Amino acid sequence: MPYRTIIEPFRIKSVEAVKFTTREERREALVRAGYNVFRLHAEDVLIDLLTDSGTGAMSAAQWSAIMQADESYAGSRSFYRFESVIRDLTGFAHVIPTHQGRAAEHILFRTRLRPGQVVPNNNHFDTTRANVEAEDVEALDLVIEEGRVPGLIHPFKGNMDLGALERLLETRGERVPLVMVTVTNNSGGGQPVSLENLRGVRRICDRYRKPLFLDACRFAENAWFIKTREPGQAGRSPKAIAQEMFSLADGCTMSAKKDGLSNIGGFLAMNDPGWAEAARNLLILTEGFPTYGGLAGYDLEAIARGLEEVVEEEYLRYRIRSIEYLGEKLIGADVPIIRPPGGHAIYLDARALLPHVPPLQYPGIALANELYLEAGIRGAEIGTVMFGLRPDGSERPGPMDLVRLAIPRRVYTQSHVDYVAEAVIAVAGLRGRMRGYRIVSAPKTLRHFTAAFAPLE
Ligand SMILES: *Cc1c(COP(=O)(O)O)cnc(C)c1O
């Protein structure tokens, strides 16, 4: 088509009203929530950008597949459909459903890791790291240098540092049971990994005879970045690119709450029959029989259909463009963000925006609360509250102080995104009046979910 406007590649069949609140109502809601937006009632949020996990809208085709599902305990028709879609996409022989991504991680790591080992990854996602460390294994992040610098532009900031991987395998190879690569790299800002880099990781894994697993939660968004940014890939379909990504690996863990376009679910897939057998044995203990793994038959149907829809070109063009569009508006107004925008979220750099709020007064909390108060928008602090607590109970600044605005899939329209841009720019203009916070109460681990704060004078 000759027109440049990228439209939402769907029309809306069913709508859900959003609730408008006054600034005074939001102020009271924030007080009740202990100034922690995780503790708000979602109903009191106008635009909810807390996460893109499980928050997407399903298609009419998914809903109708749900009605057709087979709820048999063993050997359900819905499992075989799920399995065949995943085999076609990934090429992996063994497909093991789980209730979400972290359950797949738990099963893989529980069955394969031994204390004292090391698992390299570009960046471990927080649940991945926690599941590796739960086995007394070191979770080592080997993303390229460029991936650690928020303002630096690079097409594939999620790439693995191949030199560092090789040095690890050369010096401590006997301690490495498997290599992982996260596509896209969530903890690094939703940044993609190139095919060339994945091929390089594969060559190194072959040389040292190590299995390679993808953390594939956002594989389709990663495939779109390869198509649009990597030389020679423009003419290929996102599905063909995704198939090549998976063909370079020996297995994957997956959360269907992201690029499965579903509200719940996940899977573990692999080629090795011995590894799969051990995984299925643990699955039966913790998730369920191998043909449902903690999911209903209707979830398996929704995921199977979602995995077909997520690689459609029109969908991915709209998806990635809507994030980039928000990013462009914010960059145009000099709001500091991680650049370039990644696949699923915009990360506001609260530390850069609020230089007068030191990290231990939580600039990310200050900015997230102001966004809610002024505009009813909910984002998530990814900073000192999330990463600053040491095991001995002391605190240090997190690596960055960010507010993530994660965009749910197929939920908000362009005017919603325009509203978010306008509101973020207006709130950034209020930076001078924002004050830091102190913690009133917090649990010893994963404190960001439930801590209560008070504003500093
Ligand atoms: C969400 C996510 C997970 C964990 O998946 P859950 O379904 O939330 O358990 C693992 N890795 C990455 C990269 C993710 O984004």
Q: Which amino acid residue places its CA nearest to atom 5 of ligand 1? A: 101
Secondary structure (DSSP) of 211-233: -EEEE-TTHHHHHHHHHHHSTT-
Q: State if residue 102 touches ligand 1 by the CB under 6 angstroms criterion.
A: yes
| The pLDDT of residue 186 | 81
In whole angstroms, what is the distance from residue 35 CA to residue 23 CA? 14
Q: State if residue 129 touches ligand 1 by the CB under 6 angstroms criterion.
A: no
In whole angstroms, what is the distance from residue 177 CA to residue 54 CA? 31
| The pLDDT of residue 235 | 97
For residues 6 and 319, the answer to whether their CB atoms sit within 8 Å is no
From the CA of 187, give the closest atom in ligand 1.
13
Q: Where are the domains of the chain?
A: 23-52+313-455, 60-309
CB neighbours (10 Å) of residue 148?
Answer: 14
Testing ligand 1's pocket by substitution, the residue of 127, 254, 263 carrying the most ligand atoms inside 8 A of its CB is 127
Integer CA distances (angstroms), 392 to 133, 389, 449, in order: 17, 8, 19
Tell me whether residue 151 is exposed, middle or buried, using C-beta atoms within 10 angstroms of its C-beta: 0 to 12, 13 to 18, 19 or more: exposed
CATH topology classification for 23-52+313-455: Aspartate Aminotransferase, domain 1 (3.90.1150)
CATH of 60-309, one of 1.10.150.80, 3.30.470.10, 3.30.413.10, 3.40.640.10: 3.40.640.10
Testing ligand 1's pocket by substitution, the residue of 50, 125, 264 carrying the most ligand atoms inside 8 A of its CB is 125
Q: State if residue 54 touches ligand 1 by the CB under 6 angstroms criterion.
A: no
Q: State if residue 222 touches ligand 1 by the CB under 6 angstroms criterion.
A: no
Cis status, amide bond into 228, omega within 30 of 0: no
What parts of the chain have a pLDDT lower than 70? none
